[in-house]
Structure 1
Amino acid sequence: MRSLRRAAIALPPAVAIALMYLLSRAVTTGFLLGAAELSGPRSRFGADATLGTLTMGWDAQWYWLIAFSGYPAELPLDAAGHVAQNAWAFMPVYPVITGAVGWVVGGFPVAAPLVSATAGYLACLVLFALLGRRIGRAAAMWAVAFFSFAGPMAALFQLGYAESLFQLWLLLALLAVERRRWWWLYLWIPLMAFTRPGVLAFSLMLALYGIWRWLRRQHDDLQPREIAHVVASGLLAAACGFAWPVITGIVTGDPGAYLQTELAWRRSWIGDHGGFVPFDGTMQAAVLWSGIWGIPAWVCLAGLAAIVVLATLLLVADRRVRRLGVPIRLWSAAYVLYLLAVFFPQSSTFRLLVPLSPLWGAVALPRALWWRISVLVLGIAAQWWWIHTMYALGSSFAQIP
């Protein structure tokens, strides 16, 4: 064991992470093959499911459609005259990159897992760089292991989803803030904004970061150029966050096209619910799930409030989280607030929590080997649970990733 540990330490981080990442992808591939074998006639994928059909399942179909035919100029309507689910809910960077790679490697279904897996590996490298200075090489390497192996959503690193690419841009942007390489933000922010929703949370994070730096200016010199960069990049993130709805409205001729498109997914859960009101989706979801679970709505709301309070205490007071640095803590707080404001909690909740992955660093800090191995084993088990539920089963409203 000691000789193996010494050999691992002697490897360059990029090589060690590559070996770890390849092993994690082999585990996920095995799980997907198992899910394909277990898929039955009631599953969305049928009894003849394959690794390829699972890889290109669910939202991957929308990205494939965008790469093939672009976005509709006219919004589709359902039988009641409401805007139906359509491609405008999905940002263009991932399908554009994957479509271009597909011309070289033999099609979008081949390119999609390659792009996702490559972005995932690069994200692992950036996560190691982001955490290494804060928590040390060993803990940072364990955090990368949890990131690539553990947790329900590790499969996203090789599915036709945009999450791993968004995670790459996000981690690069956080690294730029951590190391104060401000010019890089003008590249990473637009890429992030047009890969997946969430850049408005980054704008909020930069605003909070600017306030924090201002309050500490006597202990940490704040140059005028830094103020200019923080303000400019924060405004850029806000502008990019609202740009896609504007583009959608211009192309379709309907100013509310993007918002109505997003609400179409919520309508499939709770029917016609009116327009968008910040934080209302969280309340509506509490009522929905309380009915499904057969418990009072106030119990769901109280549980949610307890989770929010606990998360706040961890971000503010927990010494392990504090060691990750202010940018990660502020990003985590801003992103949770963003989700509470705009998201309707449902079966995609685990997937929407992936941008909180830098917090794996806090999980990796306890040095006890039994703790780290236990987290890894539990995370791998959770990954199998998610793949089996969403792909081998995939037959009910609550089994949509």
Structure 2
Amino acid sequence: MADQQLITPVRERAGAGAVALRIAVIYLVARVVTTAFLLLAANLSGFESRFGPEPGLGDLVLGWDSRWYWIVAEVGYPSELPLTDAGAVAENAWAFMPVYAFLAKFVGMPFGQWVVGAFLVSLVAGYAASVVLFHLLRAKIDDTAAMWAVVFFASGPLAALFQVGYAETLNLLWLFLALWCVVRRRYVWLYVLIPLMGYTRPGVLAFALFLALFGIWRWFSRRREELRVPEIVHIVVLGLLAVAVGFSWQLLAGWVTGDSGAYLATELAWRRNWIPGEAEFFPLEGFLSASTFWFGAVWGLPAELGYIVLAASVAGVAAALLFVPPVKRLGMEIRLWSASYLVYLLLVFFPQSSIFRLLVPLSPLWGAFAVPRSTAWRVGVLGACLLGQWWWIYNMYGLGNAIWQIP
């Protein structure tokens, strides 16, 4: 009996090692493909492109918002908010959280370049996130489907994020670990993961909503799975922690700058790229304003049509999370997270071309695309991922010269 107890953990570790190796091969191949796409986009870049003719890979890694993380790492945060000529708060570093920026600086120190550290952090975090995603999904679907989900994740339309100076992949690592902890009911680790999420990228308030919905679901399902008092305490305290972390950055920005609305004003500064003038924030305002802007001002369609499309989209997504069998297979935790994050975006985001990047935290839903056992289906999904990846890389990094070509 004692021998069997020793053999079982060894076999489990060997199995986990084999899985990690398989994922490493998948991830490496996916990164080679992404690198080829980036090189091709750089070769096609011209004088009309944001990056100019034939930029290097380092230029692409440091492109767009990556430069803001570099500014955070090298300069820090302004104690006085910069203003535009019109007197409005201008774009500034307070919109970007510190964990990724300073971790990239630390990793890049031996190389003497922040951009190298940023590349390595994104690359390694993306691989680690792929491994955690597999283990998160295999609790609900079979190993083959979970591995295919990793293939889609590593090769998806936004796969360039694994190789550029954005905080997304590091945040996905924390998020997948946090979801895995919830699925396994290992709540103690969340006391570390929630602050890491909150200070890596905005969005931890979505996790607070998720914990609230998860707690309600656990209460009503307590007959099927016993709900003990310590678990209730963990869920409540962790939810409050996520709320506190979510609002703490606003308080910190206000304390440093002396302007209590510094963070919101900074975030709204980006919105003036689409809608000039003074912007204000209230829940749902972003999507309502965007419906009028895109359908009316840009596309020349009745503005009311935007509201109809918005309502239909909300209803469609809700129906998918509730009733589509492959999505239901992923388990209540992933479905509740997906719903919570989409509600968060609906409440706070102004939809524009960055919406594709902001949907990346829904990556556990790749499992639903991997559930069908048809090889033709899975190969077709992979082909669509690669096609979408090239389209995104070419437009965002090969061109980047139009309002809808901003990652």
TM-score bracket for this pair, using the shorter chain length: over 0.9
Name the amino acid aligned to 2:171. Answer: F
Tell me if structure 1 keeps the 8 A contact 2:272–2:279.
no
2:299 aligns to what?
Answer: 293
Which one of 164, 170, 174 corresponds to residue 165 of structure 1?
170
1:190-205 map, 5 Å: 190-205=195-210
Cα deviation, residue 217, structure 1: 1.5
Partner residue of 2:250 out of 230, 245, 270: 245
Q: How do 1:91-170 and structure 2 match up within 5 A? A: 91-150=97-156, 152-170=157-175
Return the TM-score normalized by structure 2: 0.95
Q: Is contact 2:159-2:389 (8 Å) kept?
A: yes
Deviations 1:123-162 (A, max 9, x none): 0000000001210100000000000012x21110111000
- State how far apart, in whole Å, the 2-side matches of 1:356 and 1:319 are: 17
Q: Contact conserved, 2:88 with 2:278, CA < 8 A, in 1?
A: no
| Unpaired stretches in structure 1, ≥5 consecutive residues | 1-8
The Cα of 1:347 is off from its aligned counterpart by 1.0
Matched residue count: 392
Structure 1 position 263 matched with structure 2 position 268: yes
1:235 aligned partner: 240
Cα distance in 2 for partners of 1:384, 1:43 equals 16
- How far 1:202 moved relative to its partner? 0.4
Amino acid in structure 1 at the alignment position of 2:22: A
Of 173, 186, 191 in structure 1, the residue corresponding to residue 191 of structure 2 is 186
Question: Hey, what's the Cα distance between the residues in 2 that align with 1:106 and 1:303?
Answer: 49
Deviations 1:13-35, CA, capped at 9 Å, x for gaps: 10000000000000000000001
Unaligned stretches of 5+ residues in structure 2: 1-14
Task: Tell me which residue corresponds to 2:376.
Answer: 370
Bigger CA drift: 311-320 or 136-145?
311-320
Measured after TM superposition, the shift of residue 109 of structure 1 is: 1.1
Query: Which range moves more in the overlay, 209-218 or 337-346?
Result: 209-218
Superposed CA offset, 1:94-114 (max 9, x none) = 001001111123311111111
Structure 1 distance, partners of 2:391, 2:279, is 35
Q: SS in structure 2 opposite 1:197?
A: coil
The AA in structure 1 aligned to 2:51 is F
**SS, match of residue 84 in structure 1:** coil
Displacement of 1:11: 8.0
For 1:48, which of 48, 54, 73 is the aligned residue? Answer: 54
Residue identity in the other structure for 1:206:
L
Quick one: which of 387, 391, 395 aligns to 1:385?
391
2:7 equivalent in structure 1 = none
Deviation at 1:218, TM superposition (A): 2.0
Instruction: Kindly report which structure 2 residues correspond to 1:9-88, keeping only aligned pairs within 5 A, or say none.
Output: 12-88=18-94
**Which residue matches 1:276?**
281
Q: Distance in 2 between matches of 1:362 and 1:100?
A: 37
User: Does the 8 A contact of 2:81 with 2:92 survive in 1?
Assistant: yes
Could you tell me which amino acid in structure 1 is paired with residue 322 of structure 2?
V
SS across alignment from 1:142: helix
TM-score (norm 1): 0.96
The aligned residue for residue 3 of structure 2 is none
Q: Distance in 2 between matches of 1:354 and 1:281?
A: 19
Deviation of the 1:118 alpha carbon: 0.3
Letter of the 1:303 counterpart? V
